[in-house]
């Protein structure tokens, strides 16, 4: 029996209302050889951080996995993109608008959004760019701390064609200690063009 490409979906995960698109994405993933390993937590609210992020392909594989699972994982994108004709396609698959000119900063916008929803999963690339960076952006830790929402680590590894669900982390008041501990979890994994380094 072949290894499943996607894990079971927990009951409390926010779902998308479609059967065709999940079936299509699962079929494409099976052909590609990519899979998601590990167990998804049965939680109504979650912040998922994925790294190393070194290629546009990370987003493509990630979107295919989230649609294949049938889970509504929110991904932040500039409001201008969603207000364009592309918004017709992007909004239904969980991309949410960020207003960079608003009075609330991005962290505050996400904190507010979590408070307004009974179920919400948010996906973030903590590096903030596909280029190599020395420091990760701490926004995900600030959102997690202010909302008391746990952080699910997600390791991207191109040599094995896997996204792997790692430990769940709860943010503390010590951002530097949390960041060092979380980044150390990603060291063994390699993205398309690089790994994660301190």
Q: 198 in a domain, yes or no?
A: no
> Looking at residues 88-96, what average pLDDT do you find?
68
- Calculate what percentage of the chain has a pLDDT beyond 70: 86
> Looking at residues 133-154, what average pLDDT do you find?
93
pLDDT of residue 198: 46
Q: Provide the β-strand partners of residue 36.
A: 163
Q: Please tell me the total count of domains within the chain.
A: 1
Q: 115 in a domain, yes or no?
A: yes
> Looking at residues 112-132, what average pLDDT do you find?
88
Q: What CATH number does residue 24 fall under?
A: 3.40.50
**Nearest Cα to 165, choosing from 65, 77, 75?**
65
> Looking at residues 179-194, what average pLDDT do you find?
92
Q: 10 in a domain, yes or no?
A: no
pTM: 0.90
Q: 122 in a domain, yes or no?
A: yes
Domain that holds residue 134: 20-54+63-161+174-186
Q: 194 in a domain, yes or no?
A: no
Q: 34 in a domain, yes or no?
A: yes
Q: 196 in a domain, yes or no?
A: no
């Amino acid at each position: 029996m072949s290894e499943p490409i996607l894990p079971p979906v927990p009951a409390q995960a926010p779902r998308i209302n479609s059967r065709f698109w999940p079936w299509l994405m699962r079929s494409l993933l099976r052909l590609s050889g990519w899979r998601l390993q590990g167990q998804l937590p049965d939680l109504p609210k979650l912040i998922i951080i994925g790294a190393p992020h070194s290629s546009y392909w990370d987003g493509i594989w990630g979107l295919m996995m989230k649609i294949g699972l049938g889970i509504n994982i929110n991904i932040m994108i500039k409001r201008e993109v969603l207000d364009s004709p592309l918004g017709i396609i992007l909004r239904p698959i969980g991309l949410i608008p960020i207003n960079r000119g608003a009075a609330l900063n991005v962290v505050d916008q996400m904190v507010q959004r979590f408070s307004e929803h009974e179920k919400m999963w948010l996906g973030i690339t903590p590096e903030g760019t596909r280029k190599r960076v020395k420091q990760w952006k701490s926004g995900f830790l600030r959102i997690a701390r202010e909302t008391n929402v746990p952080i699910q680590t997600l390791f991207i590894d191109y040599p094995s064609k896997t996204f792997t669900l790692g430990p769940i982390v709860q943010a503390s008041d010590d951002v530097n200690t949390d960041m060092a501990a979380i980044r150390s979890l990603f060291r063994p994994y390699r993205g398309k063009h690089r790994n994660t380094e301190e």
